[in-house]
Amino acid sequence: MTAIGEHVRTDTGWEVVDTAPIPERAITVGSNFMVGNGYLGYRGTRPDQRAVDYVACVVSDTYDMADGVWRELCTVPNALYVGIRLDGEPLTIDLNQPAEVEYTLATAEITQRWRATTSAGESASVSVRRFASLDDLHMVMQQVTVIPDRDGPIIDFDHTIDTDVWSLNGTHLVEIEQHSDAVRAITGEEAIEIWVARRDVIEMSAASATIVSAMSVASSNDELNGVTPEACVRDAAATAVALGYRQALSASAEHWTQFWVRSDVQIGDDDAAQAALRFSLLQNRIATPAHTDRLPIGARGLSCQAYQGAAFWDQEMFNLPAFLHTEPDIARSILAYRWRTLDGARRKARRLGYEGAYFAWISGTTGDELCPDFFFTDVLTGRPIRNHFNVWQMHVSPDIAHAVWRYWEATHDLDFLADYGAEIVFEVARFLRSFVKYNEVRERYENIRLLGPDEWHENVDNNAYTNRLTQLALDHALTIDELLATQRPTDRGDLHARLAVTAADLAAWRRIRDGIYIPEPDADTHLIEAFDGFFDLEDVPPSVVRSRLLDPSEYWGWPNGVAVHTQVSKQPDVIQLLAVDHTHRLDVQRANYDYYEPRCAKGSSLSHSVHAMVATRLAALDPTYLAQAARDFFDTATIDLLATQHAAVGGTFIGGIHTAATAGAYNVAVYGFGGVAIENGTVRLDPALPDNWSSLRFHLAVWGQQLDVSIDGREVTATAPTTNTAPVSIAAAALPAPAGSSKRRRASSTR
């Protein structure tokens, strides 16, 4: 038994257990112990709870607006509600008795165990098992077993479909019709037809009673091959109860077995980190709509309606890298989603006076901007705060272009480039050409009036991260064009004709790439200025800024927040640049890490993994950086398990699973500690493990080939299966010696 944190433990590294699922922690426990499959997410609440307890089943592709501001995914009627009575009296949880909820990570099943009593003094033990099927994405199954403390009481179950739904921003289901074993609902804005069905089997014995429930969901937006949503849910529920709980779970578990073969990252001798990492891998997967290339990964996945179930830049810069070398087909679908939403990005660009594709800061099914003008409320005055995430945070477009390039590097999928990727990158390049400004005095191109990764500092010029990503995106466009010219000239010609790409466009992209201002490290300090005038801001630590708050719920950022006129950042900005761009010397990276890391308040769930990525690299200069990297890795992997982020900021609910952080845990483990990088057609392995990790093992898919990597003791080994069809070039570096040691570790590779 190993403690992960207060109330949370693991026994083998393949489960997480919460020992305090109490009402005060309802939001946290409900999110952490949700079950899901990329199509739907069912929160980890008890079967006897209702909407007031944050019960919710969130369904993908049900975007609807109820309040005139927020277009979000819908929560649907709850077909897993179970009320329990002993001798006619309701059985309720006894908060004075131990209770726990367990996530079995190998099979993505949760188990709840609690004690319950009635007002008449009867008591019983209740256990609940639940999973969302990967075999039938429309299905969630639940098994509730009641064991009374004495023989003889009559056990009754109330197993209706509960139509009282928890919704963050208004009532979406304006029509609800009760049918036999099913509910039909219609959304108010989009008139989406949603069906929820339920089937139950009850088994009684002399000592216990069990109810097995199948809940199935489908909507008129689903791809059902001609089957109606009603027929889909009725058939799915009937099939599931006919199979029974164990067999249905086994069918789902087979898919999870395949997932873990490809995606598991094994840590030696650190069960807490191991369980937290596996929890993160599972949560990143169940947040991802792998069944389609039409839908995004929500910033809170399907754990609740926060952030609308929509994509941010997190999707490409955090979630996608976790699939590049494990499930490249999913990575492809994530990028194909951006291709399918290009028209929405084009509409946004035109609306704001630009050309090409300006991708939405918050993107749903169409790619049109979902981010409202007023995101937060000033808790001191009650007035809405105008943030400009939706018009100034333009780095989302070059981020997506860079993700296309990373996918190409990892897969050499030329078909994707020709069919999807090139068009994305060309349209981003066209947007960037229209966005940048030429400064005639300084004779350079600049990006002005924007918002970089640090969201507390808006309306800045020449953000270092954004300018460099702009340069990279333009370079990718030119390189991809040259690649298609030599290998797919017909496709290139067709694309040029369809998009009206001219020689003048290519010349402009090249001119801006070569002439854009890139803030360089200072010759003496090696520091890169985050944006123009950053070093003129007040230099105080986050603790001082925090002490200036008049209310703990204040928004710190632009225009009037306490951090705006200081160097304190919400999340990494220059360090984000270093994490993405590996071209700076290590001494430059070290100087900037040492300067910016203490000035970051880590107010974003994206922060820890980015700091950890750079710190692992700095271990080559000083092994003590690994301790900081290990702490940040653990903070990323446990950000939800230990509830270290606020559920509400500036009056806006932002609880739920932080999907970018869950993916970030993988990224740190494999790209950071594992040292994986693709450089010029070679897989580089430059690992650096925390002192308390005896080994690290993971699987890599590269260019259609497979590798198993083992970092064990002082040896690095990459093994290729005999099923590979082509050689893989590998460069494995020696591991840095542990702190205080002069010994070196040797590296080897097998192809």
Whether the CB-CB separation of 607 and 571 falls below 8 Å is answered with yes
State the pairing for strand pair 209-219/266-267: unpaired
Stated as kind and residue range, the H or E segment containing 545 is helix 542-547
Q: What type of residue sits at position 180?
A: S
Structural tokens at position 210: 């069990």
Whether the CB-CB separation of 349 and 431 falls below 8 Å is answered with yes
Structural tokens at position 56: 């919710």
Euclidean distance between CA atoms 114 and 126, whole angstroms: 5
Alpha helices in 553-623 (DSSP H): 574-580, 586-596, 607-618
DSSP 678-701: EETTEEEE-----TT--EEEEEEE
Whether the CB-CB separation of 441 and 382 falls below 8 Å is answered with no
Please identify which residue in the block is written with the tokens 């160097």.
567
Euclidean distance between CA atoms 405 and 479, whole angstroms: 10
CB neighbours of 648 closer than 8 A, spacing ≥ 6? 553, 654, 655
DSSP 4-27: EETTEEESSSSEEEES---GGGHH
Q: Is residue 257 exposed (0-12), middle (13-18) or buried (19+ Cβ within 10 Å)?
A: exposed
Stated as kind and residue range, the H or E segment containing 493 is helix 489-499
Euclidean distance between CA atoms 51 and 473, whole angstroms: 46
Euclidean distance between CA atoms 470 and 445, whole angstroms: 11
Whether the CB-CB separation of 59 and 304 falls below 8 Å is answered with no
Euclidean distance between CA atoms 435 and 573, whole angstroms: 21
Euclidean distance between CA atoms 38 and 260, whole angstroms: 16
Which amino acids are annotated catalytic? 455
* Of residues 325, 313, 484, the one with CA closest to residue 403: 313
Structural tokens at position 479: 């390189």
Number of H helices, E strands in the chain: 21, 34
- Residue 432, phi then psi, degrees to nearest 5: -65, -40
Question: What distances in angstroms separate CA 346 from CA 350, 369, 405, 430, 518, one per listed residue?
Answer: 6, 11, 21, 10, 27
Euclidean distance between CA atoms 296 and 363, whole angstroms: 7
Euclidean distance between CA atoms 735 and 714, whole angstroms: 7
**Does a cis peptide bond (omega within 30 degrees of 0) precede residue 559?**
yes
Whether the CB-CB separation of 122 and 193 falls below 8 Å is answered with no
DSSP 144-179: EEEEESSS---EEEE-PPB-----SSS--EEEEEEE
